[in-house]
Amino acid sequence: MSCHDDDGSGAHPGAGGRGQPAVGFLAHGDRRGGLGRLRGDLLAVLFLVAYGVRRGELWAWVGAVAAPVLGLAVALPAHYPNNFDTLGHLGLIYLATVIFVVGALLALRGIIAQHRS
């Protein structure tokens, strides 16, 4: 039962009295788990970058890139069915993704240059 469940049906009150099952739960209950996972991934990526990527280790770069990419591959499609994929809702995530890709490519360029020399 969600915090928006008035009648115990598991439905989130919507327009015209129609409900959307479990939307209230997903909007509130799932966010905490997702934030915990995100923080864990962030910590893993920071250690990979601090130890391996700065030393020019390709395996560390792959790990530092793969963890957030996998997280986005799971999280973004979950937003599409309920029309939560708008710029208003995910705009900062889209911007952060562009910045991440630029940073990852610059780091890869440095790693490749270091291995060639």
pLDDT for the residue 2: 40
Mean pLDDT score, 88-113: 91
pLDDT for the residue 9: 44
Mean pLDDT score, 86-96: 88
pLDDT for the residue 7: 46
27-57 pLDDT, tens digit each: 544 565 567 777 877 888 888 888 888 899 9
pLDDT for the residue 113: 92
Residue 48 exposed, middle or buried by CB count within 10 Å (0-12, 13-18, 19+): buried
Whether residue 2 contacts residue 28, with contact meaning beta carbons closer than 8 Å, is answered with: yes
Domain ranges of the chain: 32-116
CA distance 108 to 66: 13
HSE-CB at 81 with a 13 A cutoff on CA atoms is: 8
